[in-house]
Structures are given as structure tokens and as C-alpha cells.
Amino acid sequence: MQTELLADPQWSGRIFSGGWVRGSGEDIAVTEPATGTLLDRVGSATPADVAKAAEHAAQAQREWAARPHTDRAAVLRRAAALFERHQEEIETWLVRESGAIRLFATFQTLVGGADECHEAAALASAPYGELLRSAQQRLSFARRVPVGVVGVIAPFNAPLILAMRAVAPALALGNAVLLKPDPRTAVSGGVVFARIFEEAGLPDGLLHVLPGGAEVGAALVDDPQVPVIAFTGSTRAGRAVAVAAATRLKRVHLELGGNSALIVCAGVDIEKAAAVGAYGSFNHAGQICMASGRHLVDARIADEYAAALARHADALTVGDPAGGDVAVGPIIDRHQLAGIDAIVRDTVDAGARIAAGGTYEGLFYRPTVLADVPVTSRACAEEIFGPVAPVVPFADLDEAVRLAADSAYGLSLGILTRDVMQGLEVAGRIPSGLVHINDQTVNDEATAPFGGVGDSGTGSRHGGAAANLDAFTEQQWVTVRGDLPDYPF
């Protein structure tokens, strides 16, 4: 009979740092947003715990980097198999702790968990250097070496995939990892990682899971034994991380917010386009950085598209994802919900019309469609991070390009069109880290480079061998001579 991954209560009220130990901070309550039920408690770290973990990790990393790449690959392959074996249990925690519907929980477990580990296992044996020509009589080459200890700070909205895309490749390339999950999702975004890699046979000291607040993240950024930080979260918090890291000359990889445009051209099937747009805006209650935040629609079809989008929104079932087959679960907490509703109200006051939704009960916000949205309104200008689809008409493609590019963000872009070559031409005029022709803006694969520009982050630092090598290794130039050279000194 298969043993549950989290059945042993040893993790309850503890952090993972050289085994399951009591953290120096007060325990964190793990609460189900859909019902308010207390699910369990996890330990809480403090800056003192971070310093101790960094010292332990730095020592363990040297031996890990010296081991054959086949050893590291084997651990990652076993981790992938464990995600698959414990899929249902992990999904249940994602559903209850983060409010994800089962479909999104499955995606995180299999793509964010298993696939990321499979790709990382292959990365361990990837070419890691190149021979260089030299004008002198010597062998000259460049090679990639591990950075040492990687600090990973992950958010609540997709806690498994947004942490594993850094944790897995960092470990595969010979680094140790200090992971700070969001305290609201410290089990699915933290405890699960510790248990998976415990069972996979990762040597002691290479992974530390340190839940906590902003002070723990600040200590991670500040610690001199952590040279690289991979941060996923809001643009505001990312700026603070970047400033702190810069004063310490640390490398920082930022995956931040977005206000991604979905351009809908005339001539498309409006019903299908509305279904695509609804998924882009309402998946995981809009709590996705790549969510379709602005629907820019050809004025000739804007009213018809808004009406179709509203029908799709009204048809979606909202409720507890653990209690039945629902399409949209809860917002993570009341603070986040209040921010969403404030943007909707301010946008209506600015002249927009509510075509669907605009109401909530508890933490459940109805999928909302805003029509006739002024381009200067909050819903058009800001990241909403909720299930809201603002519809803005455009007169021609030049205006669509101007509207799409008129944003500080540059994460993802979707273009729905019957003329795909024209779509590619339009995409080339809009700054964006990701582009999807004839699809919505929320897409992710373990094999693909991922990252945004502008206020959305520092470019593609996750996904694919090239991005991960850049993110978690240093380039080292090496020369070798057969004999000592003659110098005129």
C-alpha cells in the first residue's frame, strides 16, 4: 500500500533545514481560503535560521558539485517519479491551500513538478562549456561552474511551479537551494518540496525550506553566502529585492507582474475567441501573472465580443474547488479581494460598463467583464490579479499596437487573428517576453524560456537549458599549457 507523502506529522510546526527542526519564529497557520478551515501549521524561520541554513548549504554544496552529474540526474528523476506517484495528494493540497481548481493543480503537479524535474535531470548532463581559439600555444576553454547557493523566493498563486522552475535546475547544476515559500502556501509550495527531495535521496543540507515573512526574504537577499536570488512576485517587491541585491553585487532573476494584452482582430470566430479570452482572464480566478489583463478588440466586433465574453463569464461556476466541479475558486485572502474590487469600482466610475460579474460573496469573486473601458482607467492601466476582463476597442492595428505597448509591463501577449503572418508582424512591434499567436496569454512549458521585460522582470531566466545555465552557473575561462612559458621578466 502506498504511503502518503505528507502523512508523517514530523513536518507539522517545523521548518526543513538539516532535517525537520523547530524554526525560531512563531508557527504559521495553514488556512483554506474557500472555507476558512485550519488545515495545519508549519514552522516559521527567522533571519537567524537563514544564516544557519546558508552556512550549512554552502558546506554541503561543495561535495554535491563534485559528484558525478549522473548522481544529480538520478535524484531529479526520482523526484519526478514521486510527483507522479503522489499526484492526487499534492493536488489536494494545492486545491485546499491555494484555492486552485483541480485542473490547475494537476498542471502544477505534472508540469511544474514532474516535467521540471525531468528537464532538470537532462540539464545535469548538458554541454557546459566550449573550446576557444587562442593566439597563444595553449588550450583555452570556457566552462560553466555552479554559483554555489541559490535563494528562491516564491509566491502564493502557483506555489509549486513558480518555485520548482528554479529549485530543480539549480540543484541539477550542482547548487544548494534556500527556498522561502509564501507563508499562505507553505505546504504545497514548501513542505511538498522538502518531502519529495527527502524521499528522492537528496543529500542533507542541499535544500532548506524556510517559510516566513518579508524579514526572511530580506535576510536571504542580504546573506553573503547566497550569491544568486530567483524571485517571483509583485513588481513592487521585486524592485526592493533588486535594490538590496545591487548593493551587495548579487545577481537577481526577477519574474514579476504583468498586464498582458490579448488582441482580438476582426474576422475571428467570436464565440471561440470569447472562450479563449475567458480562459486567459478567469483561469485560477485571474491570479496569474500572465493573465489576459486587457482585451483589445477591433471596434467592429467589440460589442459582440464583450457580449459573448459576458455569456462565458456568467456560465462559469464559482465555488469551493474541493467541494465539487467548479471553474473558478476563491481569491487568496480579503486584502487581495479588496484590491480587485476597488479597481473594478474605480473603472466603472471612470465610465466603464459591467457586462458580467462585479459582485462577490466571501472570497469568491464572480468572473467580471468590463465593457467600454477608458484607456486611462485603473483596469486598463494596472495589474488586477483577479477574474476581471476589461474590453477596449481599437480602430485599426496601429492603434492596437499603441495600446498594447502602452504599458510598463511586458510579460505575455496574445493575438487572435485569421492572418497569422500579420499577427507575427504586429507582435514584433510590441515589447513582450512571451508571444502567442491564436492563443491566450497564459502558457507555460518546462522546455521554454520564460520571463518578461520592463516592469515584468529581467527577461528569460527560467525554462530551457540556455536560460537555466545563464541563471544558475558562472562562466569560467580556463587555459592550459604543456610547459611553463618564457617571460622577459
Measure the CA–CA gap between 297 and 302, rounded to whole angstroms: 5
What are the CA-CA distances from residue 325 to residues 227, 322, 366, 384 (Å)?
44, 8, 16, 25
Backbone phi, then psi, for 149, in 5-degree steps?
Answer: -120, 130
Contact call for residues 210 and 49 (beta carbons, < 8 A): yes
DSSP class per residue in 95-113: HHHH---HHHHHHIIIIII
Eight-state DSSP code of residue 302: H
Contact call for residues 209 and 181 (beta carbons, < 8 A): yes
Q: Which residue out of 289, 380, 382, 383 is catalytically annotated?
A: 289
Backbone phi, then psi, for 403, in 5-degree steps?
Answer: -65, -45
The total of other beta-carbon atoms located within 10 Å of residue 216's CB is 23
Locate all alpha helices (DSSP H) within 189-320, ordered by sequence: 192-200, 214-222, 235-247, 270-282, 302-315
Classify residue 386 as exposed, middle or buried by CB count within 10 Å of its CB (0-12, 13-18, 19+): buried
What are the CA-CA distances from residue 407 to residues 60, 344, 399, 411, 454 (Å)?
44, 19, 14, 10, 9
CA geometry: angle 400, 406, 410, nearest 5 deg: 100
Q: Which residue out of 97, 255, 382, 383 is catalytically annotated?
A: 255
Backbone phi, then psi, for 209, in 5-degree steps?
Answer: -110, 115
Eight-state DSSP code of residue 286: G
Backbone CA torsion sign across 230, 231, 235, 237: negative
CA geometry: angle 399, 404, 407, nearest 5 deg: 125
Catalytic residue list contains 399: no
Measure the CA–CA gap between 454 and 471, rounded to whole angstroms: 18
Residue 343 is which amino acid?
Answer: I
Q: Which residue has the cell 495600446?
A: 403
Catalytic residue list contains 117: no
Contact call for residues 327 and 357 (beta carbons, < 8 A): no
State the catalytic residues: 255, 289
